[in-house]
Amino acid sequence: MRSRILLSVLLLALVLLAPARAMTFTISITKSGFNPSSVTVGVGDTVTWTNADTVSHQVESKSAGFVSPVLKPGETYSFVYAKAGRYAYQDKAVKKFKGTVTVQKPAEAATVTQRASPALVVYGATVTLSGAVSSKRSGESVTVFAQPYGQTSFAAVGSAISGSDGGWSYLVKPKLRTVYEARWKPAAQGATATSSQASVRVRPQVGFRVKASSGRVVTFFTKARGVRSFAGKFVYFQRKNAFGRWVSLRKVTLTPTSSATFRVRLLSGRSRVRMFMPAAQTGPGYVAGISRTLTLAR
């Protein structure tokens, strides 16, 4: 039973992966000429000339590089066109009998591109998704799909309409690390094109300000914001040293409101300070959080 199922799957795969079949076009040679005299075919297609007259004829195409045998009434000659182009042909026996075969290029697969800018944002910030459709036409509808951290599938979040050059853009505000992709179903073609995926990382928003000060003693307030509460998590109060490195001076635990008020005695002179929230404290879907930098002179 298992072998039969496997065989069925393989046969289905072969059908789906098989290239489009070549076609055959027939041109009749009559007493009044070729019918039809001009045809349009695709690369790999075959053109067959059939002598439907009562006398012999011979087909020649210098541009395609062939000369058929002399065709008696009822006989045929076939030629496969392997390259795109326009090929003239004629009857060697009757010079005025002429025609053309136009071979079209294979249709290019529709594509849509996408990129995210910026690829790393703070919670609440806006990201611009942009790209272009291969048709370079305006009015094409591009649907944006998103898969936030923790979700198992993509869901549509909106759509954009392409401009005159086929370009499109769409604004999003990811709440957690989110993967985006764009899908486009061309108006002139049936297959849906899917872009490469763009991943946007998100930091929790870490607010940081001076609440009060008295000499070198400064009272700071910090608050972390994100899609979830950060109650019980901790952040580090950091100062940049003379070597340009951030040094953690104090560990601050956040209250049930995801905030904290604390005092620090600063060194004399200028201090550059900030709050830092390690990735281990931000939780799944976030990278480390960093506040703005405050420059204080005491």
* Rg of the chain over all Cα atoms, to the nearest angstrom: 35
pLDDT value of position 108? 77
Lowest mean pLDDT among 1-5, 116-120, 234-238: 1-5
Confidence band, pLDDT 50/70/90 cuts, at residue 298: confident
Whether the Cβ atoms of residue 195 and residue 113 lie closer than 8 Å to each other: yes
The answer to whether residue 173 scores a pLDDT higher than 50 is: yes
Tell me the pLDDT of the chain averaged across its residues: 92
Confidence band, pLDDT 50/70/90 cuts, at residue 113: very high
User: What is the pTM (predicted TM-score) of this model?
Assistant: 0.69
The answer to whether residue 8 scores a pLDDT higher than 60 is: no
10 Å CB burial of residue 86 (0-12, 13-18, 19+) is exposed
The answer to whether residue 7 scores a pLDDT higher than 50 is: no
Confidence band, pLDDT 50/70/90 cuts, at residue 187: confident
The answer to whether residue 247 scores a pLDDT higher than 50 is: yes
- Separation CA 6–CA 14 (nearest Å): 12
144 Cβ partners below 8 Å, 6+ apart?
129, 156, 157, 158, 159, 160, 170, 172, 180, 181, 182
216-238 residue pLDDT tens = 999 999 999 999 999 999 999 99
pLDDT value of position 20? 55
- Separation CA 169–CA 68 (nearest Å): 56
249 Cβ partners below 8 Å, 6+ apart?
236, 237, 238, 239, 264
The answer to whether residue 5 scores a pLDDT higher than 60 is: no
Query: CATH topology of 2-104 equal to that of 205-297?
Result: no
Whether the Cβ atoms of residue 64 and residue 81 lie closer than 8 Å to each other: yes
Would you kindly state where each structural domain of the chain is located, as residue ranges? 2-104, 115-203, 205-297
The CATH fold assigned to 205-297 is S-adenosyl-L-methionine-dependent methyltransferases (2.20.130)
Tally Cβ neighbours within 10 Å of residue 285. 19
The CATH fold assigned to 2-104 is Immunoglobulin-like (2.60.40)
Whether the Cβ atoms of residue 193 and residue 109 lie closer than 8 Å to each other: yes
- ∠ at Cα 218 (216, 223), nearest 5°? 160
- In CATH terms, is domain 115-203 a member of 2.60.40.10? yes
248-287 residue pLDDT tens = 999 999 999 999 999 999 989 999 999 999 999 999 999 9
pLDDT value of position 189? 65
- Separation CA 2–CA 24 (nearest Å): 40
Q: CA torsion, points 148, 151, 156, 157, in degrees to nearest 10?
A: -30
- CA 52 to the chain's CA centroid: 53
- Separation CA 90–CA 97 (nearest Å): 6
The answer to whether residue 288 scores a pLDDT higher than 80 is: yes
18-71 residue pLDDT tens = 445 789 999 999 999 999 999 999 999 999 999 999 999 999 999 999 999 999
